[in-house]
A and B are shown apart, each in its own frame.
Chain A
Amino acid sequence: MVNYLIVLFAITLMYFASAERLIIYIRLIAVQGLLLCGIAIFELKEINGANLIFVVSETLIFKTILIPYLLSRIVTRSGISKVSRLAMPGFYLLILSIFALLISVILANSLINPYINTIYMAIALFTLFTGLLLIVTHKLIISHLIGFLIIENSVFMFSLAVGNEMPMLINIGILLDIFAGVLILGFFGLRLKPHTNELTMLKD
Chain B
Amino acid sequence: MSISIVLLKNKTITKVITIGYALIHIWFTIYCWTNLNKTELSYFTYNSAGVLLLSVLSFLTIPTVYHGFIYGAGDDVKKFNIYHSALIGLMTFMSGAYLANGMTVLWIFVEATTLAVAALIYHDRTEMALEATWKYVFICSTGIALAYLGILFLGFIYGRGDAANLSFASFANIINNANPLYLKIAFLFVLIGFSTKMGLFPMHTVTIDAHSVAPPPISALISTTLMNVGFLAIFRVYTLFSSSSILPFMNHVLILAGILSLLIAAGYMLKAKHLKRMLAYSSLENMGLVAIAIGVGGVGYYAALLLLVLHSLTKSSLFYQMGQLSRVLHTFNLDECGRYMKLYPAGALVLIIGMICILAIPPSGLFITEFLIFKGLVFNDQWLVLIIAILLLCFVIYAMSTRILHIVFSNPRNADSLRLSDKVNPVETISQFVLLGVVIIMCFYQPPFLADLINQSLALLPK
The answer on direct contact between A and B (beta carbons under 8 Å) is yes
Give the residue of A144, A173, A204 whose beta carbon is less than 8 angstroms from that of B148: A173
Q: Assess the A168–B162 pair: CB atoms within 8 A.
A: yes
- Interface size on A (CB < 8 Å)? 39
Verify B274–A204 contact, CB threshold 8 A: yes
CB distance from B411 to the nearest CB of A (A): 23
The answer to whether the Cβ of B156 comes within 8 Å of any Cβ in the partner chain is yes
Q: By the criterion CB–CB under 8 Å, are B155 and A162 in contact? A: yes
Is B131 a contact partner of A199 (Cβ separation < 8 A)? yes
Within 8 A of B (CB), among A80-114: 110-111, 113-114
> Smallest CB-CB separation from B126: which chain A residue?
A201
Which of B65-73, B75-83, B139-147 has 4 or more CB atoms under 8 Å from chain A?
B139-147
Give chain A residues whose Cβ lies under 8 Å from the Cβ of B462: none
Take A141-B134, A165-B159, A168-B164 as given contacts and tell me if A204 and B145 are in contact as well, using a CB distance cutoff of 8 Å.
Answer: no
Task: State whether A199 and B135 are in contact (beta carbons under 8 Å apart), knowing that A113-B179, A155-B152, A166-B155 are contacts in the complex.
Answer: yes
Q: How many Å from the CB of B182 to the closest CB on chain A?
A: 7
Residue of A nearest to B107 (CB): A172
Is the beta-carbon distance between B159 and A115 smaller than 8 angstroms? yes
* Chain A residues numbered 152-201 whose CB sits less than 8 Å from any CB in chain B: 152, 154-155, 158-159, 162, 165-169, 172-173, 175-176, 179-180, 182-183, 186, 190, 192, 199, 201
Is A17 part of the contact surface with B, judged by Cβ < 8 Å? no
A168 to chain B: closest residue by CB = B164
Query: For the complex, is A135 an interface residue (Cβ under 8 Å from B)?
Result: yes
Interface stretch, picked from B265-273, B284-292, B353-361, B451-459, is B265-273
Chain B residues with CB under 8 A of A201 = 127-128, 131
Alpha-carbon distance between A115 and B181 when the two chains are bound, in angstroms: 15
A-B contact count (CB 8 A): 104
Q: Residue B108 contacts which of A152, A162, A175 (CB distance < 8 angstroms)?
A: A175
- B residues less than 8 Å from A182 (CB atoms): 115
Say if the beta carbon of A128 comes within 8 Å of chain B: yes
Residue of A113, A154, A166, A179 near B182 (CB, 8 A) is A113
Tell me if A116 is interfacial: C-beta within 8 Å of chain B: yes
Contact across chains for B160 and A165 when beta carbons are under 8 A apart: yes
Point out the residues of chain A lying under 8 angstroms from B179, CB to CB.
111, 113
Q: Are A148 and B141 in contact (CB under 8 A)?
A: yes
Q: Write the nearest CB–CB distance from B169 to chain A, whole angstroms.
A: 17
* CA distance in complex: A42, B161 (Å): 21
> What are the interface flags for B139-178 relative to A under an 8 Å C-beta threshold, 1 for contact and 0 otherwise?
0011011101100100110111111110000000000000
Using Cβ atoms and an 8 Å threshold, which residues of chain B touch A110? 181
What residues on A are CB-neighbors of B131 within 8 Å?
Answer: 199, 201-202
Q: Which residues from chain A contact B370 at a C-beta distance below 8 Å?
A: none
Chain A residues near B181: list those with CB within 8 A: 110-111
Shortest distance in angstroms between A155's beta carbon and chain B's nearest beta carbon? Answer: 6
Q: How far, in whole Å, are A190 and B127 apart by their CA atoms in the complex?
A: 11
CB distance from A132 to the nearest CB of B (A): 9
- Chain A neighbourhood of B145, CB < 8 A: 148, 151-152, 155, 176
Chain B hits for A202, CB < 8 A: 128, 131-132, 135, 209, 212-213
Report whether over half of chain B's contact residues are helix, strand or loop; otherwise say mixed. Answer: helix
Q: Are B141 and A179 in contact (CB under 8 A)?
A: yes
Give the distance in Å from the alpha carbon of A204 to the alpha carbon of B270 in the complex: 10
Q: A113-B156, A179-B111, A183-B141 are in contact. Are A204 and B127 (CB under 8 A)?
A: no
B138 at the interface (CB under 8 A from A): yes
Interface string of B277-313 (1 = CB under 8 A from A): 1000000000000000000000000000000000000
Report Cα–Cα, A135/B138, bound state, in Å.
11
B130 adjacent to chain A (CB < 8 Å): yes
Inter-subunit contact B152/A144 (CB<8 Å)? no
B137: interface (CB < 8 Å): yes
Nearest-Cβ distance from residue A15 to partner chain B, whole angstroms: 22
Contacting pair B148 A176 (CB below 8 A): yes
Q: Is B108 within 8 A of A172, CB to CB?
A: yes
B133 at interface by CB-CB < 8 Å? yes
A110's closest neighbor in chain B, by CB?
A: B181
Determine if B244 is an interface residue (Cβ-Cβ < 8 Å): no
Chain B nearest Cβ from A127, distance in angstroms: 11
Residue of B with least CB distance to A114: B159
Question: Do A169 and B155 touch (CB < 8 A)?
Answer: yes
Interface presence of B104 (CB below 8 A): yes
Distance between Cα atoms of A201 and B130 in the complex (Å): 10
Q: Is the CB of B209 within 8 A of A176?
A: no
Given the contacts A148-B142, A204-B271, A204-B277, A192 and B130 also touching, CB distance less than 8 Å: yes
Closest 7 CB pairs of A and B: A168-B164, A165-B160, A202-B209, A158-B152, A151-B145, A204-B272, A115-B159
Instruction: A159-B152, A176-B111 are known; give 20 further A-B pairs, CB within 8 A.
Output: A111-B185, A115-B156, A135-B142, A154-B149, A155-B145, A155-B149, A155-B152, A165-B160, A166-B161, A168-B104, A168-B162, A172-B104, A172-B107, A172-B148, A175-B108, A179-B111, A183-B137, A190-B134, A202-B131, A202-B213
